[in-house]
Amino acid sequence: MTVRALRLLDWKSEPELVEVPRPEPGPGQVVIRVGAAGVCHSDLHLMHDFSPGMLPWEPPFTLGHENAGWVHALGNGVTGLEIGQPVAVYGPWGCGTCARCRLGIDTYCEDQANAPVPSGGGGLGLDGGMAEFMLVPDARHLVPLPDGLDPLDAASLTDAGLTPYHAVRRSWPKLVPGATAVVIGVGGLGHIGVQILKATTAARVVAVDTRDAALRLALDLGADHVVPAGDDAAAEIRSYTAGRGADVVLDFVGSDSTLALAASTSRSLGDLTIVGIGGGTLPVSFFGVPYEVSVQTTYWGTRPELVEVLDLGARGLVKTSQSVYGLDQALRAYQDLREGKIEGRAVVTP
């Protein structure tokens, strides 16, 4: 039996909707019926920015690394899951045996030679969820959905929710009452970052974006103050913080201009976290950033953190602003994303 899947067949090409064999689970594996798959900007990089040899894996593979659905078939030896059970897929797939994977930190697996695919997962080198069915190579990558959260709302939380949650969570000690957090870029991840900050910290939240609609969305989601990106943004943020700057700055863009803004608005002893992969650089020197500002990048998040994110979603504390497309409209979804027409996140429902 065949099913439909949106597959990237080669680098520097558009994906194609094709027929593929329906996956069957081997020992320890699970097949899910896909309820929703998130459309991520990193997929555009996969389509257009990579060439053979640049990554440790190659096409063809089915796109979609933000996935949720229902258990369809269980391989031998799988316990703790039931047919029809709603689940989310933890996206990064490590070796499962190194110290970090045992803690659920597959993003930073240290035995990539024994991972299903080096530094990847479903939709990143292996077949993802832009299909009617998806093979998950190890049942440990599935997280049961809590009551009150369905696959349509859960899918984007597996990346667009988990990534900002991890970035915010690592700075919780600095997000105390009286602190200020700045979110640069209120897009697919940033608009969820605003909600996570409001739901889990006492800090005031300032949102920065070039688009009026994004700033209005940030206010609707609880931001305390919004600032249009531009030449006056740094001064306005400094004024809002009585000249001190922000205790935590989360850059969800990562361009030269946003990184410069992040550095110029950080408070001494603060955190500057680069989440976006916009290709910019931040010169770091003794006088390049305020004293004792910690500069870090983050990648995705951990499996235990995904459980926490899904709980926030089930309680209505975090919700993705999303546009929904059918599988036959998936190419249009990526085109709309490329043209900046998506507010929040796009989701494909096979």
User: String of b and e for 282-320 (b: at least 16 CB within 10 Å)?
Assistant: beeeeeebbeebebeebebbbbebbebbbebbbeeebbb
Query: pLDDT, tens digit, for every residue of 301-330?
Result: 999 999 999 999 999 999 998 999 999 999
- pTM attached to this predicted model: 0.96
Class of domain 2-159+301-349: alpha beta
With beta carbons less than 8 A apart as the criterion, state whether 136 and 89 touch: yes
Closest C-alpha among 63, 19, 89, 35 to residue 331: 63
Q: Which residues pair with 144 in a beta bridge?
A: 87
Helix/strand/coil (H, E, C) string of 272-332? EEECCCCCCCCCCCCCCCCCCCEEEECCCCCHHHHHHHHHHHHCCCCCCCEEEEEHHHHHH
pLDDT tens across the length of the chain (350 residues): 999 999 999 999 999 999 999 999 999 999 999 999 999 999 999 999 999 999 999 999 999 999 999 999 999 999 999 999 999 999 999 999 999 999 999 999 999 999 999 999 999 999 999 999 999 999 999 999 999 999 999 999 999 999 999 999 999 999 999 999 999 999 999 999 999 999 999 999 999 999 999 999 999 999 999 999 999 999 999 999 999 999 999 999 999 999 999 999 999 999 999 999 999 999 999 999 999 999 999 999 999 999 999 999 999 999 998 999 999 999 999 999 999 899 889 999 99
DSSP state letter for 85 = -
* 152, containing H or E segment: helix 151-154
Give the alpha-carbon dihedral of 346, 52, 96, 24, to 10 degrees: 70
With beta carbons less than 8 A apart as the criterion, state whether 121 and 91 touch: yes
With beta carbons less than 8 A apart as the criterion, state whether 105 and 96 touch: no
CA distances from 286 to 291, 293, 294 (A): 8, 11, 12
Q: How far is it, in rounded angstroms, from Cα 331 to Cα 325?
A: 9
Residue extents of the structural domains in the chain: 2-159+301-349, 163-297
Q: How far is it, in rounded angstroms, from Cα 149 to Cα 206?
A: 28
Query: pLDDT, tens digit, for every residue of 109-142?
Result: 999 999 999 999 999 999 999 999 999 999 999 9
Class of domain 163-297: alpha beta
